Amino acid sequence: MSSLNLDDFTDLIERPDGGVRRDAEARRERQVVPPGSLGRLDDLGEWLSAAQGAVPVRPVRRPRVVLFAGDHGIAALDVSANPAGGADRLVRDILEGGRPVSVLARQLDVPVRIVDMALDCDPGTLPAEVAGHRVRRGSGRIDIEDALTLDEAEAAFLAGVAVADEEADSGTDLVVLGDVSVGGTTAAGVLVAALCGTDASVVTGRGGLAIDDLAWMRKCAAIRDALVRARPVLGDQLQLLATVGGADLAALTGFLLQSAVRKLPVVLDGVVTAACALVAQRVAFRAPDWWLAAHDSGEPGQAKALDRMALEPLLSHGVTVGEGAGGLLALPLVRAAAALAAELPELPPPYQESEPEPERGGDGISGGAQEAADAEAVE
């Protein structure tokens, strides 16, 4: 039995400041461009203002990409186009600058942090700052066994909490959150199907490298079998992550919840982060108010999860590569919304009406004088 009480997050997480948001909306109504003419950028700027608790909104100056990494035993069933146990190669490629997220991060001048939670490799082959939070080597094959023990799930969750605290304490003002995994989208599909009460076929996508039809059928069967194991533990989110999640998914969930506690805005990347966000929403219903959905990857599980949380993606480019790449594409929009909200000038105040002139009679004299003149004429 875990000693971690996730219910505490319900009390710790507050919504972004509603009063500040109303002030931001009022300021937007006074700006030279009519409200609504910038489309969703208006809402985005007001959301960011409420998250920061500041009017006008401050620029996003210190964003960071945070990626949690892990291998999943379910990949042994050939449900992914990447080889089972191959996530460490992806991590090294990111560190060496050869992945899409690396290129985009250089272009946007955003640092990338990778946190190894369950890579299937010798931790000594990775930089110490990457491997420092590892819980285990690989996660279990969720169709026939638990991904983690409950103690491992708790350790992974708390690692995510610790990373969120580190980012908040270091001055990070927005996080683009993603994963680096092989088999992670299968585990994510199980979580989404379980929490949304739907079948495996509804949430099974083709992953980052577009698996063929046979691989899709194997993936669908794996999610179906894992769902049987997930449904009995739906009421306990930590046990759910231990049963059919994985160390990286447990850490992502902890990170999302603690970021909401610390009032640190988060941009969600793909289906894996969406699935973890759905778990986190079950823990604390206010938490999604601190998150943005970056893009629609085309993964059905992601669409299902975002719809359940009422999060509308900012972009729709069909980017399925994961690793935070789609999340980074949304960052210029966030920055643009902040700049427009802060820098567009306000209209001058309306001219004050002139003092009312005294009433005048027909010949141009005041009303009182006119009455006196009329009285004399009568006499």
Q: What is the mean pLDDT of residues 296-322?
A: 93
**Per-residue pLDDT at 261:** 98
pLDDT averaged over the chain?
91
The pair of three-digit structure tokens given for residue 216, joined into one six-digit string: 């899709």
Are residues 162 and 135 in contact, defined by beta-carbon separation less than 8 angstroms? no
Round to whole Å and give the CA distance between 163 and 205: 29
Catalytic annotation present for 323: yes
Query: Could you tell me the domains of the chain?
Result: 60-337 (3.40.50.10210)
Round to whole Å and give the CA distance between 176 and 273: 10
Residue of 266, 330, 252, 249 lying closest to 296 (CA atoms): 330
Q: Which of 152, 154, 299, 323 is catalytic?
A: 323
CA atoms within 13 A on the CB side of 329: 21
pTM exceeding 0.95 = no
Q: What is the DSSP string of 250-304?
A: HHHHHHHHHHHHTT--EEE-SHHHHHHHHHHHHH-TTGGGGEEE-B--S-HHHHH
| Torsion sign (Cα): 285, 291, 295, 297 | negative
How far lies 274's CA from each of 68, 158, 174, 221, 300, in Å?
14, 19, 17, 21, 11
**Per-residue pLDDT at 356:** 52
Tens of pLDDT, residues 98-148: 999 999 999 999 999 999 999 999 999 999 999 999 999 999 999 999 999
